[in-house]
Amino acid sequence: MPQAQPTPGKTLLSPADHILIMIDHQSQMSFATKSIDAVLLRNNCALVAKAAREFKVSTILTTVAEKTFSGPIYEEIRSVFPKDEVIDRTTMNTWEDARIAKRVNEIGKKRIVLAGLWTSVCVVGPALSALDQGFEVYAIADACGDVSQEAHDCAIDRVVQAGARPMTSLQYLLELQRDWARSETYAQTTGIARAHGGAYGLGVIYAKTMFAGSEGH
């Protein structure tokens, strides 16, 4: 008979155990994205980027053909990491760029969390490649998008069937916090939720304003 223990599951993410790779969140890629509204997508990307910054997650930013075709990375991401290098590629599969592989190896973590445009190309490629090489892979589905809902859904299905784990942007933030007693990141987490957490964020604002309430109390 198994015995319950007050410890987190082994597949839950923590800030120090993974690399976040944000891929090709650019204008040209967004124009054809139909599986998610562009405003919502940009909001979710901002949430993910801010969560990574506040929890000091190792993060790689990358674009494809930035100056010749696809345009700059979203300002919602660039403004969060203003000093970070954005690796501009020619490869559709991020994992096939030697600079990305070098950076992943330098950081030295076994878990990879992906978000990108389009899901069927820019997430499927690195997800399947990383899985083949023994990494654990997570995909933030609502910080991704594709040319149709079918394309996005098929892409998520494909990486999940290969062993990747899907999640959402708000789930990513809350999984990194995971305990409201962690006071050192409490204000940052609820602040990000207020700004980008949709109806949940409104609930945080309401509770704080009306009752001086807070999560966990």
Rounded-to-integer distance, Cα 111 and Cα 13, Å? 9
Amino acid, res. 79: S
CA 95 to chain centre: 16
Identify whether 122 is a catalytic site residue. yes
Catalytic residue, candidates 45, 122, 144, 154:
122
Contact 119, 35 (CB under 8 A): yes
Q: In the sheet that 86-89 helps form, which strands lie side by side, from edge to edge?
A: 86-89, 58-64, 18-23, 111-116, 136-140, 165-167
- Cα(11)–Cα(141) distance, rounded to whole angstroms? 17
Nearest C-alpha neighbor of 175 from the set 183, 167, 184, 164: 167
d(CA 72, CA 88) in angstroms, rounded, equals: 10
Task: List residues with catalytic annotation.
Answer: 122
